[in-house]
Amino acid sequence: MSEILVKQRDIVIPGQALAKGMDCLPGENTYRDSETIYAGVLGLASISGRVIKLTPLSGPYIPRVGDKIIGRIKDIAMSGWRIQTNTAYNAMLNVKDATNRFIKRDEDLSQILGIGEYAIVQITKVTSQKLIDLTMKEHGLRKIHGGRIVEINSHKVPRVIGKKASMISLIREHTGCDITVGQNGLIWIKGTSEGELLAHEAIKLIEKKSHQEGLTDKIQTFLESKSGKKTQKVNVVSAPVKTSAPVEKKAPETQVSNESTPKEGGKQ
Amino acid sequence: MNKQTVLDLAAQGKRIDNRAFDEYRSPINIQTDISWTAEGSVRVQIGETVVMAGVKLSLEKPYNDTPNEGGMMVNVELTPLSSSRYESGPPSIKAIEMARVIDRGIREAGAIDVKKLCVKPGEKAWFVIVDVVTINDAGNMFDSIGLAVLAALKDARFPEVDEETGSVNYKKKTDVSLPILREPISITVYKVNGQLLVDPIVEEEDVYEARLTVATDKDGVVSAMQKGGNGPLTLEEIEKMVSIALEKAKMLREKLD
Amino acid sequence: MTYEKRLDGRKFDELRPMEAKVGVIPNAKGSASFKSGKTWAIAAVYGPKEVFPRFLSNPKRGLLRCHYTMMPFSGSGERIRPGNSRRSQEIAMVMTKALEPVIDLSEFPNSVVDIYIELPQTDAGTRCAAICAASMALAHAGIPMKDMVCAVGVGKADDKVLLDLTYKEEQISQFNEASKGQPATDIPVAMIHNTKEVTLLQLDGEISKEDVMKSLELAKKGVDEIYKVQKQALLDFYQGGNQNE
């Protein structure tokens, strides 16, 4: 008979026994050794029927095709720009993928994107050796300036966005900032200096408490106490998600438009 | 990005973490006697910046030109443990500069009475080495290191010396402190986009034009100064910076005692 | 006359008191502090990042690279000159081998995970404390790993097989006349917690095969207790005091 040894949302450490018996199935970040399923990372347990999986509490960002990320221009080559993506890997943005307008042969590329500048880009390809190709041509992708960049662990990104973008909307409302969340954990905040600092603090708080329940309420309380503003109680309607761990890799819309009431129809 | 923001905010009289220009981060913690193997040791924390320092004493033959004196030296290890910006290997010029600036502030100030370190003229004297190891570099290493060196020296006690063999018994400490005459505290004031500030975080250290490290003791005597950075300083700015340093040294001194 | 009572009063199969804490270095991806008696190791994990020098790069998986440094004031006698000694290089190498078997860096080809260890004070068992700290730091960094690695020094002082020897016990022949000048045997061991497979094993001294096997059995007990401490430290980081605001 099978026996599940942990509860939903328990924090487990590598090598910890999660379940005994052949009826249970090892999901992501777990493995089976004879009859027992063990944890393969430091994470939150998530039990769905007979599948036990773990959501890592931290860990390196793993680049995936389609991810919108924030990168920093590291270097300028003949064919484009080399961009730092918060991975160990080389990411190239080719001249032809940077903009729709025609770029002349001898045009100074640093005028378009200079070293040290940041841009919102999208991953179009990841080779087996993890070389990354980027584009800046799609809607919402561009160079950014002003404001500040906050870095969090990429695994916490879904929590910063929240179910149906509830968390990120909450922060935007209280701080009045434009916020763009990159899947690689880099977040761009732009607003007043007080607003930016408050958003920074809220995001860091989310990162620290990401494994806790009732996080949206906690953050709402924090923001209200700091900004003195009271907002509508955020009603998070539980969408019929497959798992209860907030870990969808294809997270809801990470883009923010430049309007002040960001109502993006993000995918869920 | 953040670099430009730091500069823009400075022009508006603000800092990226909302502190005042003359405000240090908190907490400021000083914990002594953290290493049982050192003759004196300390852990200093300013905000998220943490360093550890330890004092080692040894009995050596004095230098030929100073037969009646012992000696002192400060060494700084900017460890890759404390930041992704540092690499293993021989000390970088940054580490060397820091060590020498702090060293100057203490040694050349006559903070330690090196004559009292002499045991037998021409033959034996105590040599003091303070090693500072960075644990987490979140900015303002200069002040953290300066404070750590002073605190470690104050915490140090001579080890016992075997009367007959003359060798040092490191396993037994006496309760005799080092002969400390003065207690200089180093404060480094940074100029960022024309504004003068203290206790910079890393983003602020990345964009400063100039800095001035000033070591002062409790009577307000200046014992060492060092200017760093690519930009120049006016006399007016220097005067302001020394005043700021005096004020902040007082604050740190209170934390030390 | 035999070694009846341990110098610090412990039982023969008793570990020194341990103190472990995770997240001590905010700049690092993962970090931990591990104290066993008077031996204290601090570990920081950085990476995965690009490998330098390039020729070390492995296209199939990421590399693990340990760096071991005793702080200049951490030795029980004179100051230790900073810089890489042969001893610290060897320890770094065996530490890496002790941790590699549990780590899975297949998702990170051509990269390196660097682990830096610094010791503020020592009293034997340094490479073991370093491995215990490194294990926690790797877990904290979210590196995929199938289990924790726990390490402890076992051995023989005089005629007794012991768990977790101190420096004094390693030097026992100088302290206990009855030991007749026979040197103690020091055996640092690292084991994967669940399977108790050995990933680090070194020995020096004079000891029979039976006593070697006895010592290793004793190590298993030590490993289980160390694992509990590591687990608590990792849980405390997420559930403990620093969460209350």
Number of Cβ within a 10 Å radius of residue A114:
13
B-chain residues within 8 Å CB-CB of A144?
A: 1
Dihedral angle computed from the Cα positions of residues B144, B146, B150 and B151, in that order, rounded to the nearest 10 degrees? 0
Q: Which has more confidence, C80 or A256?
A: C80
Please tell me the distance from the alpha carbon of residue C112 to that of residue C143, in angstroms, as a whole number. 12
Q: What SS3 string covers C125-169? A: CHHHHHHHHHHHHHHHCCCCECCCEEEEEEEEECCEEEECCCHHH
Residue C113 corresponds to which tokens in the numbers above?
A: 């995970």
Please tell me the distance from the alpha carbon of residue C185 to that of residue B60, in angstroms, as a whole number. 35
- Letter for the amino acid at B139? G
Domain assignment present for residue C9? The answer is no
Confidence category of residue C177, pLDDT binned at 50, 70, 90: low
Q: Of C79, C120, C122, which has the smallest distance from its Cβ to B129's Cβ?
A: C79
**Is the distance from CB of A38 to CB of A17 less than 8 angstroms?**
yes
Mean local confidence (pLDDT), B210-220 = 94
A-chain residues within 8 Å CB-CB of B17?
A: 197
Non-local (6+) Cβ contacts of A212 within 8 A are A218, C243
Q: Using the predicted structure, report yes or no on whether residue C158 has a pLDDT greater than 90.
A: no
Residue A250 corresponds to which tokens in the numbers above?
A: 């294809």
Nearest CA in chain C to A41: C144
Please tell me the distance from the alpha carbon of residue C56 to that of residue C60, in angstroms, as a whole number. 12
C103-147 tens-digit pLDDT: 999 999 999 999 999 999 999 999 999 999 999 999 999 999 999
B144-172 tens-digit pLDDT: 999 999 999 999 999 999 988 889 999 99
DSSP class per residue in B89-134: SSPPHHHHHHHHHHHIIIIITT-B-GGGGEEETTTEEEEEEEEEEE
pLDDT for the residue C244 = 45
The reply to whether residue C27 touches residue B35, judged by beta carbons under 8 angstroms, is no
Residue B224's Cβ-count burial label (10 Å; 0-12, 13-18, 19+) is buried
Residue B214 corresponds to which tokens in the numbers above?
A: 């000033």
The reply to whether residue B1 touches residue A194, judged by beta carbons under 8 angstroms, is no
Cis peptide upstream of residue C82 (ω within 30 degrees of 0): no
Angle at C138 between CA C92 and CA C200, to 5 degrees: 40
pTM: 0.92
pLDDT for the residue B18 = 92
Query: What are the residue ranges spanned by the domains of chain B?
Result: 2-256
Please tell me the distance from the alpha carbon of residue A149 to that of residue A199, in angstroms, as a whole number. 11
Non-local (6+) Cβ contacts of B215 within 8 A are B104, B105, B106, B109, B146, B184, B185, B186, B187, B222, B223, B224, B225
Distance from the A94 Cα atom to the nearest Cα atom in chain C, whole angstroms: 21
- On average, the pLDDT of chain C sits at 92
Q: Report domain B2-256's class.
A: alpha beta
B75-91 tens-digit pLDDT: 999 999 999 999 888 88
Establish if C49 touches chain A: CB-CB under 8 angstroms.
yes
Q: How do beta strands A51-56 and A25-26 pair?
A: parallel
Establish if C216 touches chain B: CB-CB under 8 angstroms.
no
Query: Nearest Cα to A223, choosing from A249, A199, A192, A259?
Result: A199
Residue A76 corresponds to which tokens in the numbers above?
A: 């300028």
Residue A51 corresponds to which tokens in the numbers above?
A: 């599948």
Q: How do beta strands C198-201 and A51-56 pair?
A: unpaired
What strands lie across the sheet with C149-157, from one edge to the other? C160-163, C149-157, C185-192, C198-201
- Letter for the amino acid at A116? G
Domain assignment present for residue C12? The answer is no
A-chain residues within 8 Å CB-CB of B18?
A: 193-194, 197
Please tell me the distance from the alpha carbon of residue B197 to that of residue B179, in angstroms, as a whole number. 34
Domain assignment present for residue C45? The answer is yes
In angstroms, how far is CA B124 from the centroid of its own chain? 28
Please tell me the distance from the alpha carbon of residue B207 to that of residue C7, in angstroms, as a whole number. 56
What is the tally of structural domains in chain C?
1
Q: Which has more confidence, B51 or B98?
A: B51
Please tell me the distance from the alpha carbon of residue B72 to that of residue B131, in angstroms, as a whole number. 11
Establish if C224 touches chain A: CB-CB under 8 angstroms.
no
Residue C226 corresponds to which tokens in the numbers above?
A: 């160390």
Q: Is C182 left (phi over 0), alpha (psi -120 to 50) or beta?
A: beta
Number of Cβ within a 10 Å radius of residue B20:
11
Q: Using the predicted structure, report yes or no on whether residue C173 has a pLDDT greater than 90.
A: no
pLDDT for the residue A244 = 39
pLDDT for the residue A256 = 39
pLDDT for the residue A234 = 53
In angstroms, how far is CA C181 from the centroid of its own chain? 28
pLDDT for the residue A148 = 94
Angle at C169 between CA C168 and CA C171, to 5 degrees: 65
Q: Using the predicted structure, report yes or no on whether residue C90 has a pLDDT greater than 90.
A: yes
With a pLDDT cut of 90, the percent of chain C lying above it is 82
C181-233 tens-digit pLDDT: 677 899 999 999 999 999 999 999 989 999 999 999 999 999 999 999 999 99
Q: Which of A72, A194, A197, A198 to mutate to test the interface with B (most CBs of B within 10 A)?
A: A197
pLDDT for the residue A99 = 87
A52-89 tens-digit pLDDT: 999 999 999 999 999 999 999 999 998 999 999 999 99
B88-144 tens-digit pLDDT: 888 888 889 888 888 888 887 788 999 999 999 999 999 999 999 999 999 999 999
Please tell me the distance from the alpha carbon of residue C78 to that of residue B58, in angstroms, as a whole number. 7
Q: Which residue ranges in chain A fall short of pLDDT 50?
A: 238-268
DSSP class per residue in C32-60: EEEEETTEEEEEEEEEEEE-SSGGG--SS
Q: Which of A91-105, A234-248, B208-222, C6-20 has the lowest mean pLDDT?
A: A234-248
Q: How do beta strands A186-190 and A178-181 pair?
A: antiparallel
Report the complex ipTM. 0.94
Q: Of C48, C193, C194, which has the smallest distance from its Cβ to A88's Cβ?
A: C48
Instruction: Please state the φ and ψ torsions of residue A97, each to the nearest 5 degrees.
Output: -100, 5
Mean local confidence (pLDDT), B15-25 = 95
B-chain residues within 8 Å CB-CB of C69?
A: 79
Mean local confidence (pLDDT), B209-234 = 94
Q: Please report the domains of chain A, with CATH numbers, ordered by start residue.
A: 3-56 (2.40.50.100), 68-144 (2.40.50.140), 148-227 (3.30.1370.10)
Non-local (6+) Cβ contacts of A186 within 8 A are A69, A70, A71, A86, A118, A149, A150, A151
Domain assignment present for residue C10? The answer is no
Parent domain of C95: 18-240
Q: How do beta strands C111-121 and C39-50 pair?
A: antiparallel
Query: Nearest Cα to A58, choosing from A218, A208, A250, A215?
Result: A208
Stretch 92-151 of chain C: residues touching chain A, C-beta under 8 Å: 102, 104, 107-112, 139-148
pLDDT for the residue A235 = 53
Please tell me the distance from the alpha carbon of residue B128 to that of residue B130, in angstroms, as a whole number. 7
Instruction: Please state the φ and ψ torsions of residue B90, each to the nearest 5 degrees.
Output: -65, 155
Give the CATH number for residue C209.
3.30.230.70
pLDDT for the residue B108 = 79
Please tell me the distance from the alpha carbon of residue A266 to that of residue B129, in angstroms, as a whole number. 61
